[in-house]
């Protein structure tokens, strides 16, 4: 927990959330505070993590004696914050609780956390939250519990970046956004509901970046939906001028939209300084069309190859398991085509039915069944039964531990050297689960021993060759410790 802005003082308003881990920060809380006007001075920001207990969160919030508590609710923290709200209402029912965030912007009538709270703001809440707080502090209660916020003109709202404190800048991820909305219509994503791309005022945004840089920020993560829409020559020139040891910038990119000028600019950055999240999702064009994703698959693969061969960018790609109409053979084919390019990471994600996402319109046709509790992951559908999806979830976890982590770069090439790398890794995944019965909390030394055993006992690799690969990986891990890049990214950067 942190209260960096009003330590030891009372606060009329408290803005709080629970991040997945300490290294994350909440851009949403800072955006709300930045637009509170005169109320900002009496507003405290509290950030917790999923490891915090509800009673401890409650204690730290009510210690400040607020009249209003605003909670930012997401998929990952909804269960924890529901418990927090129930405790607030049990002990301090006089405090007004206001919810916002994607998890509570849809299907509010079905959620207990919404029934417990006093108000729910659906959509972009900067201005509506300020208006609501003004009314409540004047003891004027608005009609209705659920407030639908209008889509904002981003050039008219205040930027939040002054509310990143020295501790954030020194130890945590600084999240930034230059635009909102997405031109794609992928039905599993809530951004598909807002196809109009809106941009913040470029001059103001660049001034804010300059201020963050002067205060010591070196790691930036853009949450914009696509690099090609929001990144301008001035933005990339800013980071090029700042390029030095320790700079790390994460962008998202729709890979078939990579422009030649962007490729040229990215090639000028030091190796590993830029990470591109290139969302592929599926290489089955029929499936992509079914979920509203317009994608030129061949161009996407060509552009990813260019990023990998013509720049020093760290490429993080994505595949989604469980999309309507994609069977195991199709998924394997897509994986094999993507791994052939040797991206630094392939995140194998499991389809989730987010509240409000249009993907649910396919449920009946494809017999999709989802977990009713967060993270709302698909449990089975007509083409992938429950047993198969369990295997694929384990594969995703083991692939992250072995390939994506960068800890087994040489060994991964040996494992994946097969007619179908997907089939080979699924075989490894099944074998690991048989041996361990777990996908979490596997010690590094134990994992190395297991990978060695698989290579020798299952694949028939000579003990000497298997040991050489694992030794080379160990040397790489030691060398990577000297880099200023984030741990995972620096393991993928060769000297």
Exposed/middle/buried for 373, CB within 10 Å: 0-12, 13-18, 19+? Answer: exposed
DSSP-derived letter for residue 329 is H
Cα 269 from chain centroid (whole Å)? 24
Q: pTM for the complete prediction?
A: 0.93
Q: How would you write the pLDDT of the chain (495 residues) with one tens digit per residue?
A: 444 444 557 899 999 999 999 999 999 999 999 999 999 999 999 999 999 999 999 999 999 999 999 999 999 999 999 999 999 999 999 999 999 999 999 999 999 999 999 999 999 999 999 999 999 999 998 989 999 999 999 999 999 999 999 999 999 999 999 999 887 889 999 877 776 889 999 999 999 999 999 999 999 999 987 676 666 788 999 999 887 778 999 999 989 989 899 999 999 999 999 999 999 999 999 999 999 998 899 999 999 999 999 999 999 999 999 999 999 999 999 999 999 999 999 999 999 999 999 999 999 999 999 999 999 999 999 999 999 999 999 999 999 999 999 999 999 999 999 999 999 999 999 999 999 999 998 999 999 999 999 999 999 999 999 999 999 999 887 776 666 677 777 778 754
Exposed/middle/buried for 211, CB within 10 Å: 0-12, 13-18, 19+? Answer: middle
- Could you tell me the maximum CA-CA distance found in the chain, to the nearest angstrom? 77
The domain made up of 13-152 has a fold known as Rossmann fold (3.40.50)
Class of domain 173-371: alpha beta
Give the residue among 99, 281, 118, 265 at the shortest CA–CA distance from 188. 281
DSSP-derived letter for residue 149 is P
| Beta strands per DSSP E along 417-463 | none
Domain coordinates in residue numbering, the chain: 13-152, 173-371, 385-495
Distance of alpha carbon 224 from alpha carbon 245, whole angstroms:
25
DSSP-derived letter for residue 304 is H
Distance of alpha carbon 272 from alpha carbon 253, whole angstroms:
16
DSSP-derived letter for residue 141 is P
């Amino acid at each position: 927990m942190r209260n960096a802005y009003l330590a030891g003082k009372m606060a009329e308003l408290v803005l709080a959330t629970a991040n997945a881990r300490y290294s994350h920060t909440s851009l949403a809380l800072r955006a709300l505070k930045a637009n509170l006007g005169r109320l900002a001075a009496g507003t405290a920001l509290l950030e917790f993590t999923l490891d915090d207990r509800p009673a401890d969160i409650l204690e730290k919030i009510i210690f400040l004696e607020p009249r209003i508590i605003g909670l930012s609710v997401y998929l990952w923290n909804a269960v924890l914050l529901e418990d927090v709200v129930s405790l607030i209402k049990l002990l301090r029912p006089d405090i007004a609780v206001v919810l916002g965030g994607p998890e509570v912007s849809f299907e509010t009538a079905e959620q207990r956390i919404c029934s417990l709270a006093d108000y729910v703001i659906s959509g972009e809440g900067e201005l509506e939250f300020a208006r609501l707080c003004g009314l409540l502090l004047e003891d004027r209660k608005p009609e209705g519990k659920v407030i639908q916020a209008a889509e904002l003109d981003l050039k008219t709202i205040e930027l939040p970046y002054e509310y990143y404190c020295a501790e954030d800048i020194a130890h945590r991820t600084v999240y930034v956004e230059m635009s909102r909305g997405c031109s794609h219509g992928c039905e599993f994503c809530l951004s598909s509901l807002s196809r109009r791309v809106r941009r913040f005022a470029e001059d103001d945004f660049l001034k804010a970046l300059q201020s963050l840089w002067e205060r010591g920020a070196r790691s930036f993560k853009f949450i914009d939906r696509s690099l090609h829409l929001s990144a301008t020559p001035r933005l990339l020139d800013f980071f090029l001028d700042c390029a030095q040891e320790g700079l790390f910038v994460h962008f998202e990119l729709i890979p078939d939209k990579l422009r030649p000028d962007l490729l040229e600019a990215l090639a000028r950055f030091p190796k590993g300084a830029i990470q591109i999240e290139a969302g592929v999702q599926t290489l089955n064009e029929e499936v992509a069309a079914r979920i509203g994703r317009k994608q030129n698959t061949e161009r996407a693969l060509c552009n990813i190859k260019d990023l990998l061969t013509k720049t020093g960018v760290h490429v993080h790609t994505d595949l989604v398991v469980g999309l309507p109409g994609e069977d195991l053979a199709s998924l394997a084919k897509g994986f094999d085509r993507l791994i052939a390019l040797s991206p630094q990471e392939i995140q194998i994600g499991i389809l989730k039915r987010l509240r409000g996402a249009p993907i649910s319109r396919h449920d009946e046709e494809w017999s999709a069944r989802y977990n009713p509790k967060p993270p709302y992951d698909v449990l089975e559908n007509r083409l992938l039964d429950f047993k198969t999806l369990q295997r694929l979830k384990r594969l995703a976890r083991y692939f992250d531990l072995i390939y994506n982590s960068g800890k087994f770069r040489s060994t991964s090439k040996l494992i994946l050297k097969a007619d179908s790398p997907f089939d080979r890794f699924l075989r490894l995944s099944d074998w690991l689960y048989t041996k361990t019965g777990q996908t979490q909390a596997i010690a590094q030394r134990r994992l190395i021993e297991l990978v060695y055993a698989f290579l020798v006992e299952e694949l028939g690799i000579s003990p000497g060759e298997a040991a050489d690969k694992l030794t080379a990986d160990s040397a790489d891990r030691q060398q990577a410790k000297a880099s200023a890049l984030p741990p995972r990214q620096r393991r993928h950067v060769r000297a």
